[in-house]
Amino acid sequence: MAYDYSELQATIKQWVEHTLEQQWFTAADVASLLEITANPPTSLTIHAQTRPLIVAFMGGTGVGKSSLLNRLAGQAIAQSGIERPTSREVTLYHHQSVSLGELPADLPVQKITLAQHHDVQQKNSIWIDMPDFDSTESHNKQLVLQWLPYIDVLIYVVSPERYKDGKAWRLLQAEGARHGWLFVLNQWDKGSIAQYDDFTQQLHSAGFTEPFIFRTSCTEFTEPDEFNGLLSCLETLTSEKNIQQLALYQSQLKKQQLKQQLLACQGLFAETSAFATLTKDWQQQWQKIAAVLTQGFLWNLQHYAKRYALKNTDIMVKQQPLQLWDEWAQTRFNDGLDALLLTANHLHIASLPLKNRFVELKKQAGKQIEQQTELSCRTALIKPGNAVQRGVLKLVAICAVLFPLTALSGVGYQVFVSYYESSLHHQAYLGVDFVAHSSLLILISWALPYFVQKKMQPSLEKAALRGLKKGLATALLSLENGVFQALALHQQEQAQKQVELAAFIAACDKQTESANMPEPGPLTRILKT
Protein backbone atom coordinates (compact mmCIF):
# COMPACT_ATOMS: atom_id res chain seq x y z
CA MET A 1 0.00 0.00 0.00
CA ALA A 2 1.35 3.42 -0.93
CA TYR A 3 2.24 5.84 1.79
CA ASP A 4 0.16 8.93 2.34
CA TYR A 5 2.50 11.85 1.71
CA SER A 6 2.21 13.22 5.25
CA GLU A 7 2.92 9.76 6.70
CA LEU A 8 5.89 9.25 4.37
CA GLN A 9 7.21 12.73 5.13
CA ALA A 10 6.97 12.17 8.89
CA THR A 11 8.73 8.79 8.65
CA ILE A 12 11.54 10.18 6.51
CA LYS A 13 12.00 13.20 8.74
CA GLN A 14 12.22 10.98 11.82
CA TRP A 15 14.81 8.80 10.05
CA VAL A 16 16.83 11.85 9.02
CA GLU A 17 16.79 13.27 12.55
CA HIS A 18 17.87 9.92 14.01
CA THR A 19 20.66 9.58 11.44
CA LEU A 20 21.72 13.14 12.18
CA GLU A 21 21.92 12.33 15.90
CA GLN A 22 24.26 9.47 15.04
CA GLN A 23 26.35 12.03 13.13
CA TRP A 24 26.23 10.26 9.78
CA PHE A 25 25.41 13.61 8.18
CA THR A 26 25.73 17.25 9.09
CA ALA A 27 22.66 19.47 9.32
CA ALA A 28 23.85 21.28 6.19
CA ASP A 29 23.96 17.97 4.25
CA VAL A 30 20.29 17.20 4.88
CA ALA A 31 18.90 20.71 5.34
CA SER A 32 16.33 20.20 2.57
CA LEU A 33 15.07 16.96 4.15
CA LEU A 34 14.89 18.55 7.60
CA GLU A 35 12.76 21.33 6.20
CA ILE A 36 10.23 19.09 4.46
CA THR A 37 6.74 19.42 5.80
CA ALA A 38 3.38 17.96 4.88
CA ASN A 39 1.19 21.00 5.65
CA PRO A 40 -1.58 20.09 3.17
CA PRO A 41 -4.42 22.56 2.54
CA THR A 42 -6.74 20.01 4.20
CA SER A 43 -5.18 20.87 7.58
CA LEU A 44 -6.96 24.26 7.60
CA THR A 45 -10.46 22.80 7.73
CA ILE A 46 -12.22 20.19 9.85
CA HIS A 47 -13.91 18.33 6.99
CA ALA A 48 -10.94 17.41 4.81
CA GLN A 49 -12.95 15.26 2.40
CA THR A 50 -15.33 18.05 1.31
CA ARG A 51 -13.02 20.97 1.85
CA PRO A 52 -13.08 24.28 -0.02
CA LEU A 53 -10.39 25.49 -2.40
CA ILE A 54 -7.71 27.52 -0.63
CA VAL A 55 -6.99 30.61 -2.74
CA ALA A 56 -4.45 33.31 -1.84
CA PHE A 57 -3.69 36.73 -3.31
CA MET A 58 0.04 37.36 -3.69
CA GLY A 59 1.99 40.19 -5.20
CA GLY A 60 4.15 43.22 -4.64
CA THR A 61 3.43 46.41 -2.79
CA GLY A 62 0.75 48.65 -4.24
CA VAL A 63 -0.60 46.32 -6.94
CA GLY A 64 -4.07 46.18 -5.35
CA LYS A 65 -4.35 42.72 -3.78
CA SER A 66 -6.45 43.93 -0.89
CA SER A 67 -8.61 46.06 -3.15
CA LEU A 68 -9.25 42.98 -5.29
CA LEU A 69 -10.31 40.95 -2.23
CA ASN A 70 -12.50 43.78 -0.97
CA ARG A 71 -14.21 43.94 -4.37
CA LEU A 72 -14.74 40.19 -4.20
CA ALA A 73 -16.26 40.51 -0.71
CA GLY A 74 -18.29 43.60 -1.50
CA GLN A 75 -16.92 45.22 1.66
CA ALA A 76 -13.64 46.42 3.16
CA ILE A 77 -12.32 43.31 4.90
CA ALA A 78 -8.65 43.59 3.96
CA GLN A 79 -6.37 46.45 4.88
CA SER A 80 -5.29 48.51 1.91
CA GLY A 81 -3.87 51.89 1.11
CA ILE A 82 -0.88 53.75 2.37
CA GLU A 83 -0.45 51.61 5.51
CA ARG A 84 -0.34 48.40 3.53
CA PRO A 85 3.48 48.10 3.13
CA THR A 86 3.90 47.77 6.89
CA SER A 87 1.05 45.30 7.46
CA ARG A 88 2.06 42.06 9.13
CA GLU A 89 -1.32 40.36 9.06
CA VAL A 90 -2.94 37.69 6.92
CA THR A 91 -6.63 38.12 6.22
CA LEU A 92 -8.57 34.86 5.88
CA TYR A 93 -12.05 35.21 4.35
CA HIS A 94 -14.47 32.24 4.30
CA HIS A 95 -18.12 31.27 4.20
CA GLN A 96 -19.84 30.93 7.55
CA SER A 97 -20.63 27.26 6.85
CA VAL A 98 -16.93 26.36 6.59
CA SER A 99 -15.58 25.07 9.90
CA LEU A 100 -11.97 25.99 10.29
CA GLY A 101 -9.86 23.49 12.17
CA GLU A 102 -7.28 24.34 14.78
CA LEU A 103 -4.66 26.20 12.80
CA PRO A 104 -1.31 24.38 12.52
CA ALA A 105 1.24 25.22 15.20
CA ASP A 106 3.77 26.56 12.70
CA LEU A 107 1.43 29.37 11.62
CA PRO A 108 1.64 32.65 13.57
CA VAL A 109 -2.03 32.72 14.64
CA GLN A 110 -1.64 36.12 16.30
CA LYS A 111 -1.09 37.60 12.83
CA ILE A 112 -4.29 36.26 11.25
CA THR A 113 -7.51 38.20 10.76
CA LEU A 114 -10.61 36.06 10.17
CA ALA A 115 -13.66 37.30 8.28
CA GLN A 116 -16.87 35.46 7.29
CA HIS A 117 -19.42 35.99 4.55
CA HIS A 118 -22.84 34.62 3.56
CA ASP A 119 -22.42 34.40 -0.21
CA VAL A 120 -23.43 30.83 -1.12
CA GLN A 121 -21.78 31.10 -4.54
CA GLN A 122 -18.38 31.50 -2.86
CA LYS A 123 -18.78 28.96 -0.08
CA ASN A 124 -16.40 26.53 -1.82
CA SER A 125 -13.44 28.89 -1.53
CA ILE A 126 -11.36 30.29 1.27
CA TRP A 127 -9.73 33.57 0.31
CA ILE A 128 -6.46 34.64 1.87
CA ASP A 129 -4.92 38.07 1.53
CA MET A 130 -1.15 37.63 1.92
CA PRO A 131 1.26 40.35 3.08
CA ASP A 132 3.25 42.21 0.46
CA PHE A 133 6.15 39.96 -0.43
CA ASP A 134 8.43 42.90 -1.23
CA SER A 135 7.43 45.17 1.67
CA THR A 136 9.85 46.91 3.98
CA GLU A 137 9.05 44.38 6.69
CA SER A 138 11.29 41.28 6.45
CA HIS A 139 8.77 39.39 8.57
CA ASN A 140 6.26 39.64 5.74
CA LYS A 141 8.38 37.46 3.48
CA GLN A 142 8.68 34.84 6.22
CA LEU A 143 4.93 34.98 6.80
CA VAL A 144 4.24 34.39 3.10
CA LEU A 145 6.62 31.41 3.03
CA GLN A 146 4.94 29.92 6.12
CA TRP A 147 1.52 30.05 4.44
CA LEU A 148 2.51 28.81 0.98
CA PRO A 149 2.34 25.05 1.74
CA TYR A 150 -1.34 25.39 2.70
CA ILE A 151 -2.38 27.05 -0.56
CA ASP A 152 -4.09 25.36 -3.53
CA VAL A 153 -4.19 28.28 -5.97
CA LEU A 154 -2.19 31.48 -5.90
CA ILE A 155 -3.61 34.57 -7.60
CA TYR A 156 -0.52 36.46 -8.66
CA VAL A 157 -1.53 40.12 -8.79
CA VAL A 158 0.60 42.63 -10.73
CA SER A 159 0.08 46.10 -12.08
CA PRO A 160 1.16 47.58 -15.40
CA GLU A 161 3.92 49.39 -13.58
CA ARG A 162 5.09 46.44 -11.47
CA TYR A 163 4.57 43.24 -13.46
CA LYS A 164 8.34 42.72 -13.61
CA ASP A 165 8.81 42.83 -9.84
CA GLY A 166 11.98 40.86 -9.05
CA LYS A 167 11.24 39.45 -5.59
CA ALA A 168 7.75 38.17 -6.35
CA TRP A 169 8.91 36.83 -9.71
CA ARG A 170 11.72 34.81 -8.11
CA LEU A 171 9.17 33.32 -5.73
CA LEU A 172 6.98 32.36 -8.68
CA GLN A 173 9.95 30.66 -10.33
CA ALA A 174 10.74 28.71 -7.14
CA GLU A 175 7.16 27.80 -6.22
CA GLY A 176 5.70 27.63 -9.71
CA ALA A 177 5.29 23.87 -9.92
CA ARG A 178 3.87 23.46 -6.42
CA HIS A 179 0.61 25.39 -6.84
CA GLY A 180 -2.05 26.33 -9.30
CA TRP A 181 -1.65 29.88 -10.61
CA LEU A 182 -4.04 32.57 -11.84
CA PHE A 183 -2.67 35.90 -12.95
CA VAL A 184 -4.36 39.25 -12.53
CA LEU A 185 -3.11 42.37 -14.28
CA ASN A 186 -4.77 44.87 -11.93
CA GLN A 187 -5.12 48.62 -12.41
CA TRP A 188 -5.75 47.85 -16.07
CA ASP A 189 -7.16 51.31 -16.53
CA LYS A 190 -3.51 52.43 -16.46
CA GLY A 191 -2.20 49.62 -18.67
CA SER A 192 -1.66 48.92 -22.35
CA ILE A 193 -1.86 45.97 -24.70
CA ALA A 194 1.93 46.01 -25.09
CA GLN A 195 2.33 45.49 -21.34
CA TYR A 196 -0.24 42.69 -21.41
CA ASP A 197 1.62 40.97 -24.27
CA ASP A 198 4.97 41.41 -22.52
CA PHE A 199 3.58 39.92 -19.31
CA THR A 200 2.12 36.98 -21.27
CA GLN A 201 5.47 36.32 -22.90
CA GLN A 202 7.13 36.50 -19.50
CA LEU A 203 4.78 33.79 -18.20
CA HIS A 204 5.47 31.60 -21.25
CA SER A 205 9.17 31.74 -20.51
CA ALA A 206 8.42 30.73 -16.91
CA GLY A 207 6.69 27.52 -18.07
CA PHE A 208 3.02 28.53 -18.27
CA THR A 209 1.87 27.44 -21.72
CA GLU A 210 -1.62 28.92 -21.70
CA PRO A 211 -1.98 30.93 -18.50
CA PHE A 212 -5.17 32.57 -17.27
CA ILE A 213 -4.56 36.33 -17.21
CA PHE A 214 -7.41 38.55 -16.05
CA ARG A 215 -7.32 42.31 -16.52
CA THR A 216 -9.07 44.12 -13.69
CA SER A 217 -9.43 47.61 -12.28
CA CYS A 218 -10.61 47.97 -8.70
CA THR A 219 -11.07 51.72 -8.54
CA GLU A 220 -14.24 53.42 -7.43
CA PHE A 221 -15.23 54.02 -11.06
CA THR A 222 -14.44 50.59 -12.44
CA GLU A 223 -14.77 50.16 -16.18
CA PRO A 224 -16.03 46.81 -17.49
CA ASP A 225 -13.15 44.36 -17.00
CA GLU A 226 -12.46 40.63 -16.64
CA PHE A 227 -13.22 40.39 -12.93
CA ASN A 228 -16.28 38.23 -13.57
CA GLY A 229 -14.13 35.94 -15.69
CA LEU A 230 -11.86 35.51 -12.68
CA LEU A 231 -14.86 34.58 -10.51
CA SER A 232 -16.13 32.15 -13.15
CA CYS A 233 -12.73 30.47 -13.45
CA LEU A 234 -12.46 30.09 -9.69
CA GLU A 235 -15.98 28.67 -9.51
CA THR A 236 -14.96 26.02 -12.05
CA LEU A 237 -11.86 25.17 -10.06
CA THR A 238 -13.85 24.76 -6.83
CA SER A 239 -15.61 21.65 -8.09
CA GLU A 240 -14.92 18.61 -5.95
CA LYS A 241 -13.33 16.78 -8.87
CA ASN A 242 -10.90 19.60 -9.63
CA ILE A 243 -9.94 19.99 -5.99
CA GLN A 244 -9.23 16.28 -5.73
CA GLN A 245 -7.22 16.24 -8.96
CA LEU A 246 -5.22 19.27 -7.88
CA ALA A 247 -4.54 17.69 -4.47
CA LEU A 248 -3.47 14.43 -6.13
CA TYR A 249 -1.18 16.23 -8.55
CA GLN A 250 0.41 18.26 -5.75
CA SER A 251 0.89 15.13 -3.64
CA GLN A 252 2.58 13.34 -6.54
CA LEU A 253 4.75 16.36 -7.20
CA LYS A 254 5.78 16.56 -3.57
CA LYS A 255 6.75 12.91 -3.62
CA GLN A 256 8.81 13.45 -6.75
CA GLN A 257 10.60 16.37 -5.11
CA LEU A 258 11.07 14.28 -2.00
CA LYS A 259 12.55 11.50 -4.12
CA GLN A 260 15.09 13.91 -5.64
CA GLN A 261 16.14 15.01 -2.16
CA LEU A 262 16.51 11.38 -1.10
CA LEU A 263 18.58 10.57 -4.18
CA ALA A 264 20.87 13.46 -3.29
CA CYS A 265 21.10 12.05 0.22
CA GLN A 266 22.21 8.70 -1.23
CA GLY A 267 25.27 10.42 -2.64
CA LEU A 268 26.40 11.29 0.88
CA PHE A 269 27.26 7.65 1.61
CA ALA A 270 30.70 6.30 0.78
CA GLU A 271 31.34 3.72 -1.93
CA THR A 272 31.91 0.13 -0.81
CA SER A 273 35.41 0.25 -2.29
CA ALA A 274 36.27 3.06 0.11
CA PHE A 275 35.97 0.67 3.06
CA ALA A 276 38.35 -1.78 1.41
CA THR A 277 40.85 1.05 0.93
CA LEU A 278 40.43 2.13 4.55
CA THR A 279 40.95 -1.42 5.82
CA LYS A 280 44.14 -1.79 3.79
CA ASP A 281 45.38 1.55 5.07
CA TRP A 282 44.83 0.42 8.66
CA GLN A 283 46.77 -2.80 8.05
CA GLN A 284 49.75 -0.81 6.82
CA GLN A 285 49.53 1.70 9.66
CA TRP A 286 49.17 -0.95 12.35
CA GLN A 287 52.24 -2.88 11.25
CA LYS A 288 54.32 0.21 11.98
CA ILE A 289 52.50 1.04 15.23
CA ALA A 290 52.76 -2.54 16.53
CA ALA A 291 56.49 -2.65 15.75
CA VAL A 292 57.07 0.59 17.66
CA LEU A 293 55.00 -0.59 20.64
CA THR A 294 56.75 -3.98 20.77
CA GLN A 295 60.16 -2.32 20.72
CA GLY A 296 59.07 0.19 23.35
CA PHE A 297 57.76 -2.51 25.68
CA LEU A 298 60.89 -4.72 25.48
CA TRP A 299 62.67 -3.31 28.54
CA ASN A 300 59.51 -3.53 30.63
CA LEU A 301 58.95 -7.11 29.53
CA GLN A 302 62.45 -8.10 30.62
CA HIS A 303 61.93 -6.39 33.96
CA TYR A 304 58.65 -8.17 34.62
CA ALA A 305 60.10 -11.50 33.44
CA LYS A 306 62.66 -11.33 36.30
CA ARG A 307 59.92 -10.59 38.79
CA TYR A 308 57.77 -13.49 37.65
CA ALA A 309 60.80 -15.85 37.78
CA LEU A 310 61.14 -15.34 41.56
CA LYS A 311 60.47 -18.47 43.59
CA ASN A 312 59.71 -16.60 46.79
CA THR A 313 55.97 -16.90 47.17
CA ASP A 314 55.68 -13.94 49.52
CA ILE A 315 57.41 -11.67 47.04
CA MET A 316 55.11 -12.90 44.23
CA VAL A 317 52.04 -12.14 46.33
CA LYS A 318 53.27 -8.63 47.07
CA GLN A 319 53.94 -7.85 43.40
CA GLN A 320 51.96 -5.03 41.84
CA PRO A 321 49.78 -5.91 38.80
CA LEU A 322 51.43 -5.79 35.43
CA GLN A 323 51.58 -2.19 34.15
CA LEU A 324 52.82 -2.01 30.59
CA TRP A 325 50.45 0.47 28.98
CA ASP A 326 51.46 4.05 29.70
CA GLU A 327 50.78 7.49 28.29
CA TRP A 328 53.37 7.00 25.56
CA ALA A 329 51.71 3.80 24.33
CA GLN A 330 48.23 5.34 24.53
CA THR A 331 49.40 8.31 22.47
CA ARG A 332 50.81 6.02 19.76
CA PHE A 333 47.53 4.11 19.58
CA ASN A 334 45.40 7.28 19.59
CA ASP A 335 47.51 8.85 16.85
CA GLY A 336 47.01 5.77 14.67
CA LEU A 337 43.23 5.88 15.08
CA ASP A 338 43.14 9.63 14.43
CA ALA A 339 45.12 9.14 11.23
CA LEU A 340 42.64 6.45 10.21
CA LEU A 341 39.73 8.85 10.81
CA LEU A 342 41.44 11.45 8.66
CA THR A 343 41.79 8.89 5.86
CA ALA A 344 38.11 7.95 6.27
CA ASN A 345 37.16 11.59 5.91
CA HIS A 346 39.19 11.86 2.70
CA LEU A 347 37.38 8.78 1.38
CA HIS A 348 34.01 10.43 2.17
CA ILE A 349 33.26 7.86 4.87
CA ALA A 350 31.27 9.30 7.77
CA SER A 351 34.05 9.70 10.32
CA LEU A 352 32.09 10.93 13.35
CA PRO A 353 30.16 7.66 13.96
CA LEU A 354 33.45 5.80 13.43
CA LYS A 355 35.15 8.09 15.93
CA ASN A 356 32.46 7.22 18.48
CA ARG A 357 33.17 3.53 17.93
CA PHE A 358 36.85 4.14 18.63
CA VAL A 359 36.19 5.76 22.01
CA GLU A 360 35.69 2.41 23.75
CA LEU A 361 38.66 0.88 21.93
CA LYS A 362 40.91 3.67 23.20
CA LYS A 363 39.54 3.29 26.72
CA GLN A 364 40.00 -0.49 26.88
CA ALA A 365 43.33 -0.77 25.01
CA GLY A 366 45.60 -0.63 28.09
CA LYS A 367 43.50 -3.02 30.13
CA GLN A 368 43.32 -5.48 27.24
CA ILE A 369 47.10 -5.40 26.67
CA GLU A 370 47.98 -5.92 30.33
CA GLN A 371 45.42 -8.64 31.06
CA GLN A 372 46.29 -10.67 27.98
CA THR A 373 50.04 -10.30 28.55
CA GLU A 374 49.88 -11.30 32.21
CA LEU A 375 47.64 -14.29 31.50
CA SER A 376 50.02 -15.54 28.83
CA CYS A 377 52.98 -15.14 31.20
CA ARG A 378 51.32 -17.11 33.98
CA THR A 379 50.32 -19.82 31.51
CA ALA A 380 53.93 -20.04 30.28
CA LEU A 381 55.20 -20.43 33.87
CA ILE A 382 52.88 -23.40 34.46
CA LYS A 383 54.71 -25.31 31.73
CA PRO A 384 58.11 -23.67 31.27
CA GLY A 385 60.35 -24.69 28.39
CA ASN A 386 59.41 -26.35 25.15
CA ALA A 387 57.99 -29.80 24.53
CA VAL A 388 61.45 -31.34 23.91
CA GLN A 389 62.79 -29.98 27.18
CA ARG A 390 59.81 -31.25 29.12
CA GLY A 391 60.14 -34.69 27.48
CA VAL A 392 63.85 -34.95 28.28
CA LEU A 393 63.22 -33.86 31.87
CA LYS A 394 60.61 -36.60 32.31
CA LEU A 395 63.06 -39.16 30.93
CA VAL A 396 65.87 -37.90 33.17
CA ALA A 397 63.55 -38.01 36.20
CA ILE A 398 62.94 -41.70 35.48
CA CYS A 399 66.66 -42.29 35.02
CA ALA A 400 67.37 -40.51 38.32
CA VAL A 401 65.49 -43.32 40.04
CA LEU A 402 66.26 -46.19 37.70
CA PHE A 403 70.06 -45.74 37.40
CA PRO A 404 70.91 -45.71 41.14
CA LEU A 405 68.47 -48.57 41.76
CA THR A 406 70.08 -50.63 39.00
CA ALA A 407 73.57 -49.88 40.29
CA LEU A 408 72.61 -50.83 43.86
CA SER A 409 70.97 -54.00 42.62
CA GLY A 410 74.11 -55.00 40.66
CA VAL A 411 76.41 -54.28 43.61
CA GLY A 412 74.14 -56.17 45.98
CA TYR A 413 74.02 -59.15 43.69
CA GLN A 414 77.80 -59.20 43.39
CA VAL A 415 78.15 -59.02 47.20
CA PHE A 416 75.78 -61.96 47.66
CA VAL A 417 77.51 -64.13 45.04
CA SER A 418 81.00 -63.35 46.37
CA TYR A 419 79.96 -64.13 49.94
CA TYR A 420 78.39 -67.43 48.90
CA GLU A 421 81.49 -68.55 46.96
CA SER A 422 83.87 -67.51 49.75
CA SER A 423 81.93 -69.61 52.24
CA LEU A 424 82.12 -72.71 50.01
CA HIS A 425 85.76 -72.49 49.07
CA HIS A 426 87.08 -70.67 52.09
CA GLN A 427 88.37 -67.89 49.87
CA ALA A 428 88.92 -64.25 50.79
CA TYR A 429 85.82 -61.98 50.73
CA LEU A 430 85.48 -58.87 48.53
CA GLY A 431 88.46 -56.56 48.50
CA VAL A 432 89.07 -52.81 48.66
CA ASP A 433 88.96 -52.43 44.87
CA PHE A 434 85.42 -53.78 44.78
CA VAL A 435 84.30 -51.33 47.43
CA ALA A 436 85.85 -48.38 45.58
CA HIS A 437 84.47 -49.41 42.20
CA SER A 438 80.99 -50.15 43.58
CA SER A 439 80.82 -46.80 45.37
CA LEU A 440 81.96 -45.00 42.24
CA LEU A 441 79.33 -46.78 40.14
CA ILE A 442 76.52 -45.88 42.54
CA LEU A 443 77.70 -42.26 42.68
CA ILE A 444 77.84 -41.95 38.91
CA SER A 445 74.39 -43.56 38.49
CA TRP A 446 72.93 -40.91 40.78
CA ALA A 447 75.03 -37.90 39.73
CA LEU A 448 74.60 -38.28 36.00
CA PRO A 449 70.74 -37.83 35.93
CA TYR A 450 71.00 -35.13 38.57
CA PHE A 451 73.51 -33.17 36.48
CA VAL A 452 71.50 -33.56 33.27
CA GLN A 453 68.31 -32.53 35.09
CA LYS A 454 69.96 -29.40 36.44
CA LYS A 455 71.33 -28.46 33.06
CA MET A 456 68.09 -29.17 31.20
CA GLN A 457 65.87 -27.32 33.70
CA PRO A 458 64.09 -24.48 31.79
CA SER A 459 64.78 -20.92 32.92
CA LEU A 460 61.72 -19.41 34.58
CA GLU A 461 62.87 -15.97 33.53
CA LYS A 462 63.11 -17.03 29.91
CA ALA A 463 59.75 -18.78 30.14
CA ALA A 464 58.18 -15.65 31.67
CA LEU A 465 59.73 -13.42 29.00
CA ARG A 466 58.54 -15.73 26.24
CA GLY A 467 55.04 -15.74 27.74
CA LEU A 468 55.02 -11.96 28.05
CA LYS A 469 56.08 -11.52 24.43
CA LYS A 470 53.50 -14.00 23.23
CA GLY A 471 50.78 -12.31 25.28
CA LEU A 472 51.77 -8.88 23.97
CA ALA A 473 51.66 -10.13 20.37
CA THR A 474 48.22 -11.66 20.98
CA ALA A 475 46.94 -8.48 22.63
CA LEU A 476 48.22 -6.28 19.82
CA LEU A 477 46.50 -8.57 17.33
CA SER A 478 43.28 -8.19 19.34
CA LEU A 479 43.57 -4.41 19.13
CA GLU A 480 44.07 -4.63 15.38
CA ASN A 481 41.06 -6.92 15.02
CA GLY A 482 39.02 -4.59 17.23
CA VAL A 483 39.55 -1.80 14.73
CA PHE A 484 38.74 -4.14 11.84
CA GLN A 485 35.52 -5.11 13.60
CA ALA A 486 34.61 -1.44 14.15
CA LEU A 487 35.15 -0.78 10.44
CA ALA A 488 33.03 -3.79 9.49
CA LEU A 489 30.19 -2.72 11.81
CA HIS A 490 30.40 0.79 10.40
CA GLN A 491 30.10 -0.57 6.88
CA GLN A 492 27.17 -2.80 7.87
CA GLU A 493 25.36 0.12 9.46
CA GLN A 494 25.89 2.24 6.37
CA ALA A 495 24.54 -0.59 4.20
CA GLN A 496 21.47 -0.80 6.44
CA LYS A 497 20.85 2.92 6.16
CA GLN A 498 21.21 2.70 2.39
CA VAL A 499 18.59 -0.07 2.34
CA GLU A 500 16.24 2.10 4.42
CA LEU A 501 16.84 5.06 2.13
CA ALA A 502 16.17 2.92 -0.94
CA ALA A 503 12.88 1.82 0.65
CA PHE A 504 11.83 5.45 1.04
CA ILE A 505 12.70 6.13 -2.60
CA ALA A 506 10.67 3.10 -3.65
CA ALA A 507 7.75 4.39 -1.58
CA CYS A 508 7.95 7.69 -3.45
CA ASP A 509 7.94 5.80 -6.75
CA LYS A 510 5.02 3.59 -5.83
CA GLN A 511 2.42 6.24 -6.53
CA THR A 512 4.43 8.62 -8.65
CA GLU A 513 5.77 6.72 -11.62
CA SER A 514 4.90 9.98 -13.31
CA ALA A 515 3.19 13.02 -11.87
CA ASN A 516 0.70 13.14 -14.73
CA MET A 517 -0.93 16.42 -15.56
CA PRO A 518 -4.73 16.38 -15.15
CA GLU A 519 -6.86 16.00 -18.23
CA PRO A 520 -6.89 19.07 -20.51
CA GLY A 521 -9.10 21.80 -19.09
CA PRO A 522 -8.96 24.79 -16.75
CA LEU A 523 -6.93 22.82 -14.23
CA THR A 524 -4.08 22.17 -16.67
CA ARG A 525 -3.92 25.86 -17.58
CA ILE A 526 -3.18 26.92 -14.01
CA LEU A 527 -0.31 24.45 -13.60
CA LYS A 528 3.26 25.08 -14.64
CA THR A 529 4.55 22.50 -17.14
Task: Say what the alpha-carbon torsion angle 278, 283, 287, 288 is, to the nearest 10 degrees.
Answer: -10
**Shared-domain flag, residues 304 and 342:** yes
pLDDT digits (tens, 9 = 90+) for 240-281: 888 888 888 877 877 888 888 888 888 889 999 999 999 999
Average of per-residue pLDDT across 36-52: 63
**Shared-domain flag, residues 438 and 336:** no
**Shared-domain flag, residues 360 and 424:** no
132 assigned to some structural domain: yes
One DSSP character per residue, 413-435 reads HHHHHHHHHHHHHT-----HHHH
Residue 313's pLDDT is 43
User: Among the listed ranges 15-29, 59-73, 255-269, which one has the minimum average pLDDT value?
Assistant: 59-73
**End position of a domain, from candidates 210, 237, 264:** 237
CATH number at residue 227: 3.40.50.300
258 assigned to some structural domain: no
**Shared-domain flag, residues 202 and 226:** yes
In three-state form (DSSP H/G/I as H, E/B as E, the rest C), the secondary structure along 235-267 is HHHCCHHHHHHHHHHHHHHHHHHHHHHHHHHHC
pTM across the whole model: 0.66
Residue 39's pLDDT is 56
17 assigned to some structural domain: no
4 assigned to some structural domain: no
Host H or E run for residue 461: helix 460-511
Question: How many structural domains does the chain have?
Answer: 3
Average of per-residue pLDDT across 342-367: 93
472/461 Cα distance (integer angstroms) = 16
pLDDT digits (tens, 9 = 90+) for 94-126: 888 877 765 666 665 556 778 888 888 788 888
**Shared-domain flag, residues 446 and 487:** no
Residue 512 has pLDDT above 60, yes or no: no
**Shared-domain flag, residues 161 and 43:** yes
**End position of a domain, from candidates 456, 474, 490:** 456
Residue 366's pLDDT is 92
Q: Domain range for residue 495?
A: 272-385+460-505
Q: How far is CA 195 from CA 192, 243, 408, 518, in A?
A: 5, 32, 136, 31
**Shared-domain flag, residues 233 and 297:** no
246 assigned to some structural domain: no
357 assigned to some structural domain: yes
32 assigned to some structural domain: no
**End position of a domain, from candidates 431, 456, 481:** 456
**Shared-domain flag, residues 398 and 351:** no
**Shared-domain flag, residues 414 and 474:** no
**Shared-domain flag, residues 208 and 306:** no
330 assigned to some structural domain: yes
Residue 46 has pLDDT above 60, yes or no: no
**Shared-domain flag, residues 195 and 46:** yes
pLDDT digits (tens, 9 = 90+) for 155-210: 998 888 888 776 666 776 676 667 888 999 988 888 899 999 999 998 888 888 88
Higher pLDDT, 408 or 36: 408
**Shared-domain flag, residues 380 and 471:** yes
Residue 416's pLDDT is 77
